[in-house]
Structures are given as structure tokens and as C-alpha cells.
Homo-oligomer: A and B are copies of this chain.
Amino acid sequence: MASLVVSRKDQIIQVAADLFKIRGYEATSMRDIAQQLEIEAASLYHHIKSKEEILEKICFSMADQFLTGIEEVNDIYFSAEEKLRMAIKSHVRVLTGNLSKSTVFLHEWRSLNGEKLIEFKELRDKYEKGFKTIIQDGINEDIFDDVDLKFAVLSVLSSVNWIAEWYRVDGGMTADEIANRISDFVMGGLRKKLVTDPHFKG
């Protein structure tokens, strides 16, 4: 079943993700996807149940990766700052690891319907909660400013998520370099302003 070579189904999903990223889910037709694979649209249905199944597979597989990352970080005992840096690193790695799928995860999930949509939103909230926990830890540890929690989380998530809008694989920055710079940046906004050394770089 699962093998080293990419299954046809996975190929379809990846190609679909690439198109969804560029044109959006609704603007991408099954014939567009098929054309990219040089087959007919009807042939896709021997591998997938429906167009929406493709979207579900993308959204939930990414949700899974993002969640796994932050859960691992929260399981380990570390300082809040260390945790936040690790969480950001994990996030950027997942995101840059599959940019197309990540973009779909971030923007196209609203095309999900019914139970799947509810389920997805729950996972998304769970992920936000993971960051919230870390920042709350930081406030408790007196490391971070006592900023409004929700606001801080949103600021952090906005910084990391916007990467999907501008990151290019050949842009010269590795995932970890980006993660470090973002960490420095948001840390500057969160950390207690006690610094004396002008060359301090966090």
C-alpha cells in the first residue's frame, strides 16, 4: 500500500494543492487538475471520491503536522522563550515543507462543508491554544510582558502565517533562518524591556 514511490492519489493531491494555492479551490476545476497530470477528469475518480475529498485530505494532513509540532514542544519542559522559539521553528518547517498545502490549509479550508468544517475549526482552535499556553507560561515566568494573551497569540500567528504569502523556495533563506528572525522579532515585542546591552540580539 504505502510505498516509497508516491502513489497516484498522493500525486493528484499534490498537484491539486499547487493549483489551489495559485487559483484557489473554487477556481480550480477537476479538469484543470487532470490536465496537469495529462489524464482526463473522469480518471481522477478512480483514485479519489470527490473534489472535496482532496481538500479535506490537504487540510487535515497539514493540521495534523502543525498540531504534532506544537504538542511535542509543549510536552518538553523548557523555558517559555525556548518553547516559543521551538514552536515557531516547527511551524515554519511544516509551512515551508509543503508551501502549497500550507497555503490551502490557511486559506481554502472555508470551502469545507458540514461536519468536516466544524472538525477542522476545532483543530485550528486547538493549535492556537497551543501557542496561547506557551505565551501564558511566559507571562507566569515573568519573562514576557503582561500583554493581552489573545492579542499576543494573534500577533505571533500573523507573523508566522504571512510567510506563506511571500516565501519562495529559492529565496535564499532556510526555514530555520526565517524561524530565528521571526523569533527575534516577536520576542522583541513580547519580552520584558530590561535590556541594557545595545548589541543584545536575543
Interface membership of chain A positions 99-133, coded 1 if the CB is closer than 8 angstroms to chain B and 0 otherwise:
00000000100110000000000000000000000
Number of this chain's copies in the assembly equals 2
**Residues in chain B near residue A161, CB distance under 8 A:** 158, 162
Report yes or no: B24 in contact with A155, Cβ–Cβ below 8 A: no
Given A24-B26, A111-B27, A198-B192: A182 and B159 within 8 A (CB)?
A: no
CA distance A96 to B152 in the complex (A): 19
**Residues in chain B near residue A154, CB distance under 8 A:** 162, 166
What is the predominant secondary structure among interface residues of chain A facing chain B? Answer: helix
A194 in contact (CB, < 8 A): yes
Interface membership of chain A positions 157-169, coded 1 if the CB is closer than 8 angstroms to chain B and 0 otherwise:
1110111011000
Within 8 A of B (CB), among A185-202: 185-198, 200-202
Name the residue of chain B whose CB is nearest to the CB of A194: B198
Known contacts A184-B189, A193-B198, then 12 further A-B pairs from the complex at CB < 8 Å, ordered by chain A residue: A24-B110, A24-B111, A26-B26, A27-B111, A158-B158, A158-B165, A159-B159, A188-B189, A188-B190, A194-B195, A194-B198, A195-B195
